[in-house]
Amino acid sequence: MGMLYIVPTPVGNLEDITLRAIRLLREADFVLAEDTRTSSKLLKHLEIQVPMYSYHKFNEHKTVASLVDRIRDAQNHVALISDAGTPGISDPGFLLVREAAKCGVEVQCLPGATAFVPALVSSGLPCDKFVFEGFLPQKKGRQTRLNFLKQEQRTIVFYESPYRVVKTLTQLAEVFGAERPAAAVREISKLHEECLRGTLASLAEHFTKNEPRGEFVLLVGGEDGDTAVEKE
């Protein structure tokens, strides 16, 4: 029986990869990558040469059945990676894991890099209990989701692109309240990593005046009010 390994890759600094991840990538019969062009740079850096095939949100439904059959019948050991972080966390992976498990293929997910954990811990907001929302819907269902989360008492974690940060912070301030404590963490594990703490209103104002750059993790304190963080 084959094996499917879910292998986290660095979200920034290329040193943020485990020794086990490197070994399994070297030993894999082939690697499934979200973007082979991006992943080829990492594998070249690690001096790893294995066959690599595309597996992304645009082809996963078409290819998942044949991939599972190949892993199971050919007894291949396959590593699934995304462009950065842990596959399945706001990246392709869930569908393949689910179907592989249904077909009796053993699945192992390695511990490793993901963006929201360091952002959450460094935010200064409570991290003993939290809810991960990933990316908000861009259009349909967005306002409904925000209204649903308004009374959430746990710290809320969002992913956001630099192009929508101001819009999202502004909407969060309108729905949750301008003074709701929050943090914006960008460029995690990269040279210009930054963690800004304050309120939803102050963060929206900051990024209105300062062009947002890099991928963002936005963190919002829970509704219970016991979430104050030191402003910067």
At 212 the pLDDT is: 96
CATH number for the domain including 81?
3.40.1010.10
Does pTM surpass 0.85? Answer: yes
Please say which residue of 109, 144, 160 terminates a domain. 109
Question: Tens digit of pLDDT for each residue in 76-106?
Answer: 899 999 999 999 999 999 999 999 999 999 9
Task: Say if residue 138 is in the same domain as residue 206.
Answer: yes
At 183 the pLDDT is: 98
Give the residue carrying structure tokens 């304050």.
Answer: 198
At 174 the pLDDT is: 98
3: number of Cβ within 10 Å: 18
Q: Is residue 230 part of a domain?
A: no
Scored b (16 or more CB within 10 A) or e, 175-197 reads: bbeeebbbbbbbbbbeeebebbb
Question: Tens digit of pLDDT for each residue in 116-145?
Answer: 999 999 999 999 999 999 999 998 999 999
Q: Strand order of the sheet with strand 52-54?
A: 52-54, 30-33, 77-81, 3-6, 106-109
Task: Say if residue 45 is in the same domain as residue 125.
Answer: no
Residues of the chain with pLDDT under 50: 227-228
37: number of Cβ within 10 Å: 9
Q: How far apart are CA 8 and CA 15, in angstroms?
A: 12
Domain assignment of residue 138, given as a range: 116-220
